[in-house]
Structure 1
Amino acid sequence: MQHPASNKLTVLALLLLGIVVLVCASLGRWQLSRADERRAISAEIERGRLAAPLLMRPDMTIESVQPWRAASASGHWAAQFSVMVDNRNLDGRPGLWLATPLILEDGVAVLVLRGWIPRPIGTEQAPKIATQLSMHTVEGEMSLRVPRLFELWTSKKGEDSGLPSTWKGIAAGESGWVDTSSLVRVQNLDLGSLAERTGLKFLPVVLLQNSPAQEGLSRNWPKPSLDADKNVGYATQWFGFAAIAAIAFCAVLWRFVRRRRRQIE
């Protein structure tokens, strides 16, 4: 006669195997959805880069922003409101991004990510960046925001933005030179917070400058991971685990039913 405890263990095993099947199948579907997302991002990048270059104007709206599209803007730097975006690595080297508002006509600004500089180590001095005082044109690719770094806290406007609450900016040196060691540093930079602190009106877009590297700045901007095949491979593995668990579930269930039939006979 089958012991009741054995029946309970069998039911528990069936329950656990059923949960494993559901979890693994769900993870497989999630990986497939991630693959679809990466294909969509890849298509969006392709559309943006195939589009005709855009001249950014003060009346530009969010509807006209197309990420990865080539764009140019003409104006002069508001060097006093330059910001260093911290903890941005390049080829394994720690560094920072330099972000400076570019003032267009009518006083409207566009935030430009100008490039990457290495983090000073030891007695090294932070570089000084030349910032032209005259009108000039900046070329790059459009982005909806400054690429973010993962934070363990929630980034908010105002006191949590990392920007000083009473910020007057800094004065540029002679010929527009800016000492990067004196600039404000933040982990992430939000356009809303920057507008609130500086009093500038920003276009709803960030320009990633991609003209040839100069002034000690490198311009190798991060690109999203687009390897959808990797997600498909992970999905196949999860579905394989689900199939193994399903086979084990059926085997345990068949043995349980067979024992019950013997008990009845």
Structure 2
Amino acid sequence: MYRFLLTPRWLAAAALTVAASVIMVFLGNWQLHRYQERSAINARIDAADSTPAVPLSSVLARPEAPGRPGASPGEDAAWTKVTVTGRYDPAHEIQARGRTVDGLVGFEIVTPLLLADGTAVLIDRGWVPSKDGDAISAPVAPPAPAGQVTVVGQVHLSESRPAPLARRDGRIDTRRIAVPKLAAELPFPVYGAYVLVSEPEPGFTRVSIDHEDAWQNGGYAVQWWLFAVMALLAYGWQARKEANGDAPKKRVDRVAAADQRMAAVPSARQPD
């Protein structure tokens, strides 16, 4: 009944179905992995306010030379609550433009914090609105505190897709806080990630931390697995349909052949 499955056409269809199902299962597993990663990040975000801060040096690799940032940390370091002590360097302050808070366009102000060992870490001190309400008018930002300060904040990985840098109103102007590109413009070794302050100074708005959309990845994983099952079921359904369609045809062919044989047999009745 199912011998047709051994024909080249059906063997090719089986191979394609299995290959497609394997790929779909792989994609589902990859989405599951992303779901687990993003869920872990969300857990760190939620726990950051209630967990004690750890020294920055225990999370990020120390940079060795000016112009070259320290090693970029993995995603497991993102949003870790850290503490670091040093002196702000307003001469190399950075403004990241085009940032919105509650529908208002403004800037994030990033100031290098010089540590006692000569290295530096970029500190995102918070958000301020642009002076004229557009994306390029220089903001009026409170000056960085003088003297030694201790900063508590969360590790933020470098933003991707580095943007051009320019000097504007006494600051380095950019669209993205891309640590490697910024580090190349600074005269001291810079850590490979920056720190987002937990409690901004007066005049700044805290930059909100968006949770990762982990459930979307979980939904995609289930979808890919369902597609794999559906592909196998579709192949089985088509094979069964083919088999059931062949059986009546074969029965009809056998009956027709029998009728032909009967018609060919001479009648036993003799003429009068």
Distance 1:35 1:255 in 2: 39
- CA deviations 1:194-230 (Å, max 9, x no partner) are 3332211224442211214522x211333341544x4
Higher RCO (Cα < 8 Å, 6 or more apart):
1
**Residues 1:238 and 1:203: Cα distance change in structure 2 (over 3 Å):** closer
- Aligned pair partner of 1:201 in 189, 192, 204: 189
Q: Which residue is 1:231 aligned to?
A: 217
Give RMSD over aligned pairs: 4.0
- CA deviations 1:89-130 (Å, max 9, x no partner) are 334444332111122334332210111233443699533222
Same amino acid, percent of matched pairs: 22
- CA deviations 1:139-190 (Å, max 9, x no partner) are 33231533x25x4xxx4xxxxx6236xxxx7xxxxxxxxxx75533223333
Q: Which residue is 2:208 aligned to?
A: 221
Is residue 2:111 matched to residue 1:103? no
Q: Which residue is 1:243 aligned to?
A: 229
Q: Which residue is 2:96 aligned to?
A: 85
Structure 2 portions without partners, runs of 5+: 1-6, 63-72, 255-272
Structure 1 portions without partners, runs of 5+: 1-6, 156-160, 170-179
Distance 1:129 1:46 in 2: 29
Pairing of 1:152-167 with structure 2 (within 5 A)? 155=162, 162-163=164-165
**Residues 1:47 and 1:123: Cα distance change in structure 2 (over 3 Å):** closer
Q: Which residue is 2:85 aligned to?
A: 74
User: How many pairs align?
Assistant: 231
Q: Which residue is 2:41 aligned to?
A: 41
Distance 1:115 1:144 in 2: 13
**Residues 1:118 and 1:17: Cα distance change in structure 2 (over 3 Å):** farther
Is residue 2:138 matched to residue 1:126? yes
Q: Given the two structures, how large is their TM-score scaled by the length of structure 2?
A: 0.65
Distance 1:123 1:46 in 2: 31
Displacement, 1:31? 2.4
SS of structure 2 residue aligned to 1:129: coil
**Residues 1:26 and 1:62: Cα distance change in structure 2 (over 3 Å):** same
SS of structure 1 residue aligned to 2:39: helix
Q: Given the two structures, how large is their TM-score scaled by the length of structure 1?
A: 0.66
Distance 1:34 1:191 in 2: 24
User: What amino acid sits opposite 1:121 in the alignment?
Assistant: G
- Aligned pair partner of 1:183 in 149, 165, 171: 171
